[in-house]
A and B are shown apart, each in its own frame.
Chain A
Amino acid sequence: CAFGFQQRSGRALWQLGGHLRRLCTPTGARFVGDPKRTQGLERVSQPSWKGIENKDRPTYTVDPDEDFPDECDALVIGGGAIGCSVAYWLSRQVNCNVVVVERDPAYTRAASPLSCGGIRQQFSEPENIQMSLFGSQFLRNIKENLAVFDLDPPDICYAPHGYLVLADEANAETLRTNNQAQRKLGAKVDLMSPEKMKETWPWLNVSDIALGAFGTENEGWFDPYLFLQALKRKAVSQNVKFVVGELLDFEFSMQRYVKGDLSFEQERLKAALVKCPDNLVRNINFGVVVNAAGPWAGHVAHLAGVGDFAGKVKLPVEPRLRYVYHLHCKEDLFPTPLLNCPSGAYLRAEGPGGHYIAGLRQSVFVVSLPPHAAKKAAAATPGIDAPFIQDVASGLHLRRDGFQGDFVTYVNPPPPLPVDQLSESAVPDEPECNGVDLEPDYDWFDKQVWPRLAHRVPCMEAVKVRNAWAGFYDYNTFDQNLVIGRHPFHENLIFCNGSSGHGIQHAVAIGRAVSELVLFRQYKTIDLSRMSFERLQTATRIRETGII
């Protein structure tokens, strides 16, 4: 009937047939709205309107494909642990179309499989502690949570040994405060004196340690690649579409907002332009997009205009190189907890047999003077007049960071080259990272990691490096903590980036939080509103104190 006829879309009208089908456009388009109409024609990635200079942005030719999902409800950029977790939670709670775009299905450079895979509850921020506790509970019941019908239940080789965080006199009080906060939230962490630690672990050198915190439960390490596989398999079984492609750009549409007499136009993220392995560019229209690109999240945010027309504040996430060394020592110390030393070195045993995994967590240390001390000794502490102090003899570097009394310091052993031959950009402490190369540096081990290790565990002096690998941290240069939430300008762009080494243990909780944001527009379980994008705009740092 006529009433139903008018309501049908272009494709349905075409299928009804008729002689007018012969009289179609030159490109052979079949119905109004057929993407074949514009096939082969150049499509400008953004329409030209005042406000955006689209001369700088490249234009792409879009080719449609029947098997390719050209529209979805939620698009997840990045198929790592966090991306798969977001897809899993979204598809678990509601029956919607979720598409995950991952450019490297073998995960050769992704942060997830190259991490050490540890989970700990010893943080100083309550949100991090809660996320870790939920992650630990999820991993304990992983056979129930991520099992797929007709396949073997997932096994992530979880080793339930705890973390031991060591603090010297300066950090002992912070450790005590953190311990109280952790216990209040239900984490089981015991404070141990040096004598108790010496009695429990006789091979540990605790002569310069004032306090240690040992996590008795809910801590351990697992195989992150198996975890990623399990998440991805479960997401696929819940009808999530995984697409292999690289995100090239976003498409925008002008959205007009009207309130009474006032109206304004704003760019709205409409679609993503993805380059597929067959070198054709396709677009995916989405309702909401989740940035789970890990170390390259800053680039994805830049494509969306963050830092450009969508606000001056950029997403401060960049890849940082971290080396992990597989050591062999004749002395067998299995089972060890995962040791975290104040110098930044960490060590754990990889099964019995004298194999260990070690690395340096962070090269840069942040020291802050407590406000009452800064006020007392106002004349003695460096203020805005402080230059970048470098003591070449001892290798100490000190500079002021911001106006809150923060200082950035690190110990840099004297470089082999004379000072005047050093280039300005060379920072020997932080390994050079271009976001692509993943070659471990064995010299760096000898100079930076080994002395600290030999000091902490004396029998490690005769250690040999069996293997090493390098991985990227999705490093948040602002405060090394998660950035999660919607963007203030693009309301359909959700961030979950910048975990800076804690992504794999918080992946489950982050996925659930993002799914709650998408479905309910608020956090239902763990309140992560403090870690929103706004804190980057107001320059409020949420830094972990006393914990690396």
Chain B
Amino acid sequence: LTLQLHSMLLSVLRRVASRRCYSSSRLRLEELLPQRPGQSQDKPQVPDKLFTGRIAKWVGAPRVTEGWDMTKEHRGDLMRAMLIGLTTKSRHSYDDKIIRKRYQWIKQVQAFDTVLVEKFGVEVAAADRLVRLGCRVAFSNSPNDWLGVSETGALPALPSRSLPSLAIEAIDARDALLMSDSVDWLERLRSLQFLRLRRCPFVDDHLLARLAARCKTLKLLEISDCPGITWEGVASLWRLKNLRRLVLSENCHLLSQPEGLALVPTQLESLVPGLFVEGVDDLLALSVPRAAPEADSESVYSAELAP
């Protein structure tokens, strides 16, 4: 009741103030009013609205470069809400409809679209779709020049048609919405070298198995903090014969399967020539003598991988 009174008072005062005062006085009035219980003076870092209707805005803002922070917590909640929305029988709730529509939209973006490919060429079309899902892409003619959704939520300027020199070399999928259907796009990229999957909620064993079957040009792969994968999915990567680095970090759920932890990285290294699996040294209880990684200066992106 006090909240309602406060809001009513605020609205009345605003109406009064707007007739005479400038906007600066309005701010002063709000500062003078006693704060509502449970509300701090500072503005919260978490945005109130989860998404504003454009997928680019939802994915893009606010963007944080590194580390674990509070602004990404809502994404887990969003995914949980999505799953609940998918599993409830009632189709008459507006929230369910929004969540269901959003999920269908995500699936639609991943589906392979031949019309788009005919229009723009496969590389540019794939770049467009990946960027809409929240990835950043880098082309071969300008390495380390990442194209992604900006902080304001605007889509980047992609080339209007594909050129022979234009090929996607690297994909940075941080907090992206990649699902197993998106590998239809990834397999057609002729020189894809680097793929980072970090905090992707929909990455599971099926996506890894499809990657292993289709994307043979992959050299550097990072899978960190993806809750959907298991050791079976990681083991299916033995088919990527060109893989040089595999980084598995912050995958806390994989700790619960110690037999996979002890055996899969070493077996992968023996099956795939030239592979070094990073990120598991501190987790291995037994210190298995492993060869030091070769200094890999071939790829520009090897410095991008997490240490």
Give me the interface of A with B, judged by CB distance under 8 Å.
140, 143-144, 147-150, 153, 157-161, 188, 216-217, 220, 332, 334-335, 351-353
Contact A144–B238 (Cβ < 8 Å) = no
User: In the complex, what distance in Å separates the CA atom of A160 from the CA atom of B210?
Assistant: 9
A140 and B206 form a contact (CB under 8 A): yes
> Could you name 25 residue pairs across A and B whose Cβ atoms are closer than 8 Å?
A144-B86, A149-B87, A149-B89, A150-B84, A153-B87, A157-B230, A158-B205, A158-B206, A158-B232, A160-B205, A160-B206, A160-B209, A161-B232, A217-B209, A217-B210, A220-B209, A335-B238, A351-B232, A352-B231, A352-B259, A352-B262, A352-B263, A352-B264, A353-B259, A353-B263
Q: In this assembly, does B99 line the interface, its C-beta being within 8 Å of a C-beta of chain A?
A: no
A-B complex: 3 closest residue pairs judged by Cβ atoms: A160-B209, A352-B263, A147-B87
In the complex the two chains form, what is the Cα distance from A159 to B212 in whole Å?
13
Contact of B213 among A144, A150, A188 (CB under 8 A): A188
In the complex, what distance in Å separates the CA atom of A173 from the CA atom of B235?
A: 33
CB distance from B93 to the nearest CB of A (A): 12
Task: Give every chain A residue within 8 A of B251 (Cβ-Cβ).
Answer: none
Is B180 in the interface zone, CB < 8 Å from A? yes
Which of B87, B213, B230, B232 contacts A217 (CB under 8 A)?
B213
In the complex, A335 Cα to B240 Cα: how many Å?
13
Q: A352, B83: Cβ atoms under 8 Å? A: no
Give chain A residues whose Cβ lies under 8 Å from the Cβ of B232: 157-161, 335, 351
A335 partner residues in chain B, CB cutoff 8 A: 232, 235-236, 238, 267
B153 CB within 8 Å of chain A: no
B residues whose Cβ falls under 8 Å from a Cβ of A: 83-84, 86-89, 180, 205-206, 208-210, 213, 230-233, 235-236, 238, 259-260, 262-264, 267
B210, B232, B233, B260: which has the most chain A beta carbons within 10 Å? B232
- Compute how far the CA of A161 lies from the CA of B236 in the bound complex, rounded to whole angstroms: 7
CA A408 to CA B295, docked complex, whole Å: 61
B270 CB → nearest A CB, Å = 10
- A334 contact from B206, B230, B267, Cβ within 8 A: B267
Q: Which residues of A have CB within 8 Å of B84?
A: 149-150
Chain A residue, CB-CB nearest to B231:
A352
Q: How far is the CB of B77 from chain A (nearest CB, A)?
A: 16
Q: For the complex, what is the distance from the CA of A329 to the CA of B260, rounded to whole Å?
A: 17
Kindly list chain B residues whose C-beta atoms are within 8 Å of the C-beta of A351. Answer: 231-232, 259-260
Inter-subunit contact B238/A216 (CB<8 Å): no
Query: Smallest CB-CB separation from A152: which chain B residue?
Result: B83
Assembled-state Cα–Cα distance A332/B209 (Å) = 21
Q: Is the CB of A334 within 8 A of B235?
A: yes
The interface centre, meaning the residue of B180, B206, B231 with most chain A CB atoms within 10 A of its CB, is: B206
Bound-complex Cα distance A217 to B205 (A):
12
Enumerate chain A residues within 8 angstroms of B236, measured Cβ to Cβ: 160-161, 335
Q: How far apart are B165's CB and chain A's nearest CB, in angstroms? A: 31
The docked-state distance in angstroms from the alpha carbon of A153 to that of B213 is: 27
Known contacts: A332-B263, A334-B263. The answer to whether A140 contacts B180 by CB under 8 A is yes
User: Is there an interface contact between B235 and A352, defined as CB atoms closer than 8 Å?
Assistant: yes
Expressed in whole angstroms, the minimum distance between the Cβ of A204 and any Cβ of chain B is: 14
Q: Which residues of A contact B206 (CB under 8 A)?
A: 140, 158, 160
Query: In the assembly, what is the distance between CA of A144 and CA of B88, in Å?
Result: 11
Closest residue on chain B to residue A216 by CB atoms: B213
CA distance A143 to B209 in the complex (A): 17
Q: Please give me the residue from chain B that is nearest to A153 by CB atom.
A: B83
The answer to whether A332 touches B213, judged by C-beta atoms less than 8 angstroms apart, is no
The answer to whether A147 and B83 have CB atoms under 8 Å apart is yes
Contacts of B231 in A (CB 8 A): 351-352
Min distance, Cβ B179 to any Cβ of chain A, angstroms: 9
Residues on the B chain within 8 Å of A158, using CB: 205-206, 232
Q: How far is the CB of A376 from chain B (nearest CB, A)?
A: 43
A338 to chain B, nearest CB (A): 13
- Which of chain A's residues have a CB closer than 8 A to the CB of B208? 160
Distance (whole angstroms) from the CB of A333 to the closest CB of chain B: 9
Minimum CB–CB distance for A95 against chain B, Å: 11
Contact partners of B263 in chain A: CB under 8 A: 332, 334, 352-353
B87 adjacent to A160 (CB under 8 Å)? no
- Measured CB to CB, the closest approach of chain A to B103, in angstroms, equals 8
Which residue of chain B has its CB nearest to the CB of A159?
B232
A69 to B83, CA, bound (A): 33
Q: A160-B208, A334-B235 are in contact. List 20 more A-B contacts (CB 8 A).
A: A143-B83, A144-B86, A149-B88, A157-B230, A157-B232, A158-B206, A160-B205, A160-B209, A160-B233, A161-B232, A188-B213, A217-B213, A332-B263, A351-B231, A351-B232, A352-B235, A352-B259, A352-B267, A353-B259, A353-B263
Closest A residue by C-beta to B208: A160
Most chain B beta-carbon contacts within 10 A, residue among A153, A334, A352: A352
Question: With A and B bound together, what is the CA distance between A148 and B213 in angstroms?
Answer: 32
Candidate in B83, B87, B210 with the most chain A CB atoms within 10 angstroms = B87
Q: Which residues of B contact A334 (CB under 8 A)?
A: 235, 263-264, 267
Determine the residue in chain B with the shortest Cβ distance to A146: B87
CB distance from A224 to the nearest CB of B (A): 16
Chain B residues closer than 8 Å to A144, beta-carbon distance? 86
- Chain A nearest CB from B234 CB (Å) reads 10
The residue that A147 contacts in the complex, of B86, B209, B213, with Cβ under 8 A, is B86
* A159 proximity list for chain B (CB < 8 A): 205, 232
